[in-house]
Amino acid sequence: MNRYSFITISIFISTIYSCASVEPEIYIIESDVVKEIDENKIFVEFLDNEWEKTLNENPLFATYTGDKRSNNKIRSNSIDEFNLSKKSNLDSYEKLKNFNLNKLNDDNKLNYKLMEFELKNDIDANKFPTYFLRLNQRGGIQSFYETGNRLVYTSKQDYLDWLSRMEQFADNIYNSYEINKEGLQKGYTQPKLVTQGVISQIDGVINSDIESNPYLKVFLEADTSILSDNEKNDLIINAKDIILNKINPAYEKLNEFLKNEYLPNSRNSIGIKDIPDGKKYYEYLSKKYTTTNLTPDEIHNIGLAEIKRIRSEMEEIIKEVNWDGDFDSFLNYLRTSPRFYYDNADDLFNAYLIMSKTIDPLLPKLFKTFPRAPYGVIPIPAESAPFTTTAYYNSPSPGRPGYFYANLYKPESRPKYEIPVLTVHEAVPGHHFQISIAQELENVPTFRKYQGITAFVEGWGLYSEELGEYMNIYDDPYDKFGQLTYDMWRAIRLVVDTGMHYMDWSREDAINLFLENSAKSELDINNEVDRYIAWPGQALAYKIGQLKILELRDKAESMLGDKYDIKDFHYEVLKRGSLPLDLLEFYINQWIDETLNS
């Protein structure tokens, strides 16, 4: 299975009392209880086995969780591997359906539904040849070295294992060549602008001096407290050999094909609708990423309504600062005035650090449970920064904190009023808070600790931006406008993602909608639109998830009255880890009823 983007097994224990003098009918009742306990026990064993299968099939993911049994292996990206995974998912689903949901206890009913949700999503995805669509300028075949930079090295063997993985990765580069060659023949290609980004990044790798090759970084920075100088030098020599004689030749073959055959013959269009069965694929992606049955047209209209609502709030801020001009002139002022920008990367980075430490002590106002895992703020790698978005988050793993990655490329294009809203989304109480709490859950099957349901995860991140109001970090009206800009950004996403992939919107249409309604810089807007082109559907999750959490919070506050406490609401939202939105609503409604009747 390959269904985890990011928890101690609980075994139902009960003591059965029996004695020789029991009446027959009581014995029958006890016999039923025994059957029920057996069903739960067998189900937990099934979940354990599924987790083991996941680790075996995904050795890099296993390493992230701290399991190093397959630490020197990677997963093949071949079509054969895709088909094996497809069969594995179907086998797991068959086994799952053999369990009687009614005989499971409440905890296992939830475990069942979450496992079913993941498997059905994977099975539906496997109906499409997604291996033809892996080229992505935001990461993939061209940036495997970033994986090595994120691993934890505590022994010489860890470095040797990564060396082995690098060597094996050359086969995946050749596989990418074969797969994309077949995809080109069958009409499954990425848009030209996506391919151009990938080509540029591969050029950066193969044209770099060997001493600055990104694949060498892990070994140049190897920890000399666990390696002798000779051991470190040997690793560097071996890594250079693999780079020069295995990785670079594989990249050169792929890149030559991409430049000379794939790019000239790939599609000029940007929408996924233009590949075979593209509209059906996008309809699937819409359901997967939002965990709803909303159609692309319905999502598009929700986005238009949100743009109108947020625009009116922006107009109020413009009045508050006594701006003498129209909306467009105010946006132009925000994009061009030097007062809103740092002129160097160091000052921008320090501002993110200061903001994160400003937020930390404010969190007890809103939460009663806190993650144990620490987090840090680090720059996005220079090689990928020009092609990626403003920030992202990477979750903690054993021996490694979570990290909020900030883009420092062209600081003159990254406004100060984005710093508070970005920090609450990517760090706390956004992604680091939610993901770390999920990973630290107790008495749940392990798969749930790493279950990243996008509508929940990104919905929570966007919801957290609004929580900056409660912490008073938007006390400056320009910072508040920055928060509204980010809310507007996610509303626009609903419109442009569905517009480009399901309707007939052009890239220029999407860019213009951003320029007309948000203060984001043109560099950010271009990168964001290109991200949606390369990653159809994912952008729908944020706003749909946020709206559901806000709806449930409003309902709880209205119904509970004096019994309502925002800390309790947040605890209920986060206490089970990542959930599809319908299950989140079920449990919040259950909590409201229990609170009213307590």
Per-domain boundaries in the chain: 24-127, 133-274, 281-340+430-545
- 3-class DSSP state for residue 141? helix
- 3-class DSSP state for residue 151? coil
> What region, left, alpha or beta, does residue 407 occupy, with left being phi > 0 and alpha being psi -120 to 50 degrees?
beta
- Find how far residue 36's CA is from the centre of its chain: 37
Confidence of residue 38 (pLDDT cuts 50, 70, 90): confident
pTM flag (> 0.85): yes
- In angstroms, what CA-CA distances link 275 with 139, 154, 499, 530? 21, 46, 16, 17
Question: Across residues 208-237, what is the average pLDDT?
Answer: 97
User: Residue 542 and residue 361: Cα distance in Å, rounded?
Assistant: 26
Give the pLDDT confidence of 291-340 residue by residue, as tens digits.
Answer: 999 999 999 999 999 999 999 999 999 999 999 999 999 999 999 999 99
DSSP 381: P
* pLDDT at position 7 over 70: no
Helix/strand/coil (H/E/C) assignment for every residue in 84-100: HHHHHHHHHHHHHHCCC
Poorest-pLDDT segment among 242-246, 273-277, 395-399:
395-399
Q: Is the peptide bond before 429 cis (omega within 30 degrees of 0)?
A: yes
Give the pLDDT confidence of 87-104 residue by residue, as tens digits.
Answer: 999 999 999 999 999 999
End-to-end alpha carbon distance in the chain: 42
Percent of the chain with pLDDT over 90: 90
Other beta carbons within 10 Å of 110: 20
Q: At what angle do helices 454-467 and 541-560 cross, to 10 degrees?
A: 60
**pLDDT value at position 520?**
87
- 3-class DSSP state for residue 332? helix
Give the pLDDT confidence of 517-566 residue by residue, as tens digits.
Answer: 998 888 889 999 999 999 999 999 999 999 999 999 999 999 999 999 99
Other beta carbons within 10 Å of 205: 20
Confidence of residue 17 (pLDDT cuts 50, 70, 90): very low
DSSP 400: B
DSSP H helical ranges for 126-242: 145-150, 156-186, 192-206, 217-220, 229-242
Residue-level length of the chain: 598
CB 206 within 8 A of CB 251: yes
- Contacts of residue 331, defined as CB under 8 A and 6 or more positions apart, other chains included, come to 515, 518, 519
**pLDDT value at position 37?**
59
